């Protein structure tokens, strides 16, 4: 556990910029490959030609198409996934997980994503076939219910697939964090730790789950390197979201975005029937167009959502400062996290706009210093 006041590490800032640039570059390459293939399938007529060879009715035809696309993309992107997910984190000392363990985690994550995606595709195309006029509405409702279920299961099931979850052994710290949660009006099930150090060198804390499944979860990397004051302010930030009712607000925004996205997808599918030779909006050949439009919509709305998210996170920082009245610990915790997680402290304006869902380190520290002056 550290005690002296940390300072931003200039060498790690240089590494952070290199790492961030490389990760964005490979993400761009990945997205470009997927986009080019989807464009070729739609505008090259390949999707329509392939659809004539599928002997199954909907939604099973689209399920088969999704399986082929998923495995095809998976194979094509293996080199990028390996380099971006394994080589780079090891090169920059953010991970020390062995290759077999990394492959195991990748297999688990890919399996979960695959079956979730398959279920959504089957749902979508069953609704497109049975309720062509209102499919987007029913799909939106079901997606939101599914999102609530996943959020509720995060702390009890999903995390345990990848990490060992156990109660916090430090009774004094546990009592302190529970009292903090009570002051914030956030009832919790308990305080737990995950063995992140078995795979990564980064640190974090979270308030996971909904209702009776809400738990405080700390990484063991946080417990080893941070003071109790610093751990408290890190958690206080998460509790700030509860104080400001951010979860219901974000769920409402998510609902609006989901319904808008699906409604626009409905218009795009209908507009594409004649130009692309689809046999109606429920044609299996429309699947690449649907994926392509959702991806484009995500690129367009991403900066808008990030801008709102940064405001929400800044407000949570303010709540953490009010809740703990410990500005020194707040700044030191941010400094340790920035050094440890290899985060860029002061990114360019456009980088922040496009990619950051939290305010960068310099702005968060400025908020804390302003709080010191105001107090």
Structure tokens at 309: 């998210």
What is residue 163's predicted lDDT score, i.e. its pLDDT?
Answer: 86
What is residue 29's predicted lDDT score, i.e. its pLDDT?
Answer: 97
Task: Classify 150 in phi/psi space as left (phi over 0), alpha (psi -120 to 50) or beta.
Answer: alpha
Asked if residues 243 and 323 have their Cβ atoms less than 8 Å apart, the reply is yes
Nearest alpha carbon to residue 335 among 374, 301, 361: 361
- 370 or 210, which is more confident: 370
Task: Classify 361 in phi/psi space as left (phi over 0), alpha (psi -120 to 50) or beta.
Answer: alpha
Cβ partners under 8 Å of residue 270, min gap 6: 281
Asked if residues 34 and 75 have their Cβ atoms less than 8 Å apart, the reply is no
The tens digit of pLDDT for each residue in 57-66 reads 889 999 999 9
Asked if residues 222 and 333 have their Cβ atoms less than 8 Å apart, the reply is no
What is the rounded average pLDDT of the residues 216-227?
92
What is residue 187's predicted lDDT score, i.e. its pLDDT?
Answer: 83
What is the rounded average pLDDT of the residues 113-130?
95
Nearest alpha carbon to residue 196 among 235, 168, 222, 169: 222
The tens digit of pLDDT for each residue in 332-365 reads 999 999 999 999 999 999 999 999 999 999 999 9
243 pLDDT exceeds 60?
yes
Neighbours of 5 (CB within 10 A): 10
What is residue 61's predicted lDDT score, i.e. its pLDDT?
Answer: 94
Parse the chain into domains and list their residue ranges: 10-134+268-374
What is residue 143's predicted lDDT score, i.e. its pLDDT?
Answer: 93
Asked if residues 177 and 236 have their Cβ atoms less than 8 Å apart, the reply is no
The tens digit of pLDDT for each residue in 94-105 reads 999 999 999 999
Q: Report which listed range, 110-119, 142-151, 202-211, is most confident.
A: 110-119
CB-based contacts of 249-256 (< 8 A; 24+ apart in sequence): 249/312, 250/312, 251/144, 251/147, 251/148, 253/305, 253/308, 254/144, 254/147, 255/140, 255/144
The tens digit of pLDDT for each residue in 39-54 reads 999 999 999 998 888 7
Neighbours of 248 (CB within 10 A): 9
- 189 or 281, which is more confident: 281
What is residue 164's predicted lDDT score, i.e. its pLDDT?
Answer: 86
Kindly state the helix (H) or strand (E) to which residue 166 belongs, with its residue range. strand 165-167
Q: Where are the alpha helices (DSSP H) in the chain?
A: 10-43, 46-51, 60-76, 78-82, 88-91, 99-130, 135-153, 159-162, 171-183, 220-225, 228-243, 246-276, 287-324, 327-340, 349-355, 361-374
What is residue 168's predicted lDDT score, i.e. its pLDDT?
Answer: 92
Q: What's the rounded Cα separation, in Å, for the pair 281 and 268?
A: 9
156 pLDDT exceeds 70?
no
Q: pLDDT class for 25, splitting at 50, 70, 90?
A: very high
Chain-wide mean pLDDT for the chain? 92
Asked if residues 331 and 188 have their Cβ atoms less than 8 Å apart, the reply is no
Positive or negative: CA dihedral 143, 148, 153, 158: positive
């Amino acid at each position: 556990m550290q005690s002296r006041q940390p300072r931003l590490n200039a060498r790690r800032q240089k590494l952070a910029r290199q790492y961030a640039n490389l990760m964005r570059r490979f993400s761009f390459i990945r997205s470009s490959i997927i986009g080019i293939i989807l464009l070729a399938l739609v505008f090259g007529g390949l999707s329509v030609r392939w659809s004539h060879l599928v002997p199954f009715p909907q939604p099973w035809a689209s399920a088969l198409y999704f399986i082929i696309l998923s495995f095809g993309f998976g194979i094509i992107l293996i080199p990028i996934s390996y380099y971006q997910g394994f080589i780079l984190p090891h090169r920059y000392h953010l991970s020390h997980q062995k290759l077999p363990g990394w492959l195991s985690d990748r297999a688990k994550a890919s399996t979960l994503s695959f079956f979730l995606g398959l279920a959504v595709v089957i749902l979508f195309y069953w609704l497109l076939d049975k309720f062509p006029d209102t499919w987007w509405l029913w799909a939106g409702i079901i997606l939101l219910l599914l999102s609530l279920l996943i959020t509720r299961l995060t702390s009890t099931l999903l995390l345990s697939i990848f990490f060992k979850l156990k109660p916090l052994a430090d009774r004094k710290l546990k009592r302190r964090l529970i009292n903090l949660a009570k002051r914030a009006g956030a009832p919790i099930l308990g305080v737990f730790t995950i063995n992140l150090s078995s795979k990564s060198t980064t640190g974090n804390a979270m308030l996971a789950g909904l209702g009776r499944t809400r738990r405080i979860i700390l990484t063991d990397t946080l417990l080893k390197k941070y003071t109790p004051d610093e751990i408290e302010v890190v958690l206080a930030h998460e509790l700030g979201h509860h104080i400001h009712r951010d979860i219901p607000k974000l769920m409402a925004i998510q609902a609006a975005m989901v319904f808008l996205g699906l409604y626009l997808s409905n218009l795009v599918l209908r507009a594409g029937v004649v130009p692309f030779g689809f046999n109606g909006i429920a044609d299996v050949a429309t699947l690449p167009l649907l994926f392509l439009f959702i991806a484009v919509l995500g690129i367009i709305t991403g900066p808008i959502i990030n801008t709102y998210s940064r405001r929400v996170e800044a407000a949570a920082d303010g709540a953490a400062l009010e809740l703990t009245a410990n500005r020194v610990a707040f700044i030191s915790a941010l400094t340790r996290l920035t050094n440890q997680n290899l985060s860029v402290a002061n990114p360019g304006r456009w980088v922040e706009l496009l990619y950051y869902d939290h305010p960068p380190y310099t702005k968060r520290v400025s908020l804390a210093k302003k709080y010191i002056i105001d107090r």
